Structure 1
Amino acid sequence: PTSEEDLCPICYAHPISAIFRPCSHKSCKACINQHLMNNKDCFFCKATITGVDDFTKPASS
C-alpha cells in the first residue's frame, strides 16, 4: 500500500517516481514532465533543474 509520504506532493495521485537534480526534491514523472514543458525551475525551491533521475523508494528492512 502507498502511504501518503510516498505520493507526489503536487498531484497526490501518483507515487513519487522522479528526483530532481541538483536540489533532490521529488514528484511523480507526470508532474515533472508536464512542468518542464514550460518551466525549468523546481516547484519547491525554484532552483534550475539540470536533470531528473528515476526515484525508487529504498526497500524497508
Structure 2
Amino acid sequence: MVSDKEKEIIGEINKMTQTEMASLWRFAPSGHLYFDKTKPFWEVFDKRFKELGGFTPEISKHLG
C-alpha cells in the first residue's frame, strides 16, 4: 500500500517538466530518493521521463 507521503512524492514527480527531470537526473546527489530502486519513485520517474522524451541534445546543451 502506498502511503500519503509516497502519493505526495509521486504527485511531485508527475508535475515535473522534462527539463526539470533531466536536471535532477544529471545533478542529483548520489542516493537521491527518486533514484532509489528500492522505493516506488524510480519506476514513476523513469516512466514519466521517457514519456516526455528523456534526455535530448537540446536539453543537454541547455543544462551544460
TM range (shorter): under 0.3
Larger helix proportion, structure 1 or 2? 2
Task: Decide which structure has greater strand share.
Answer: 1
- Structure 2 length-normalised TM: 0.25
TM-score by length of 1: 0.26
Work out which structure has the larger RCO, using CA pairs closer than 8 Å and 6 or more positions apart in sequence: 2
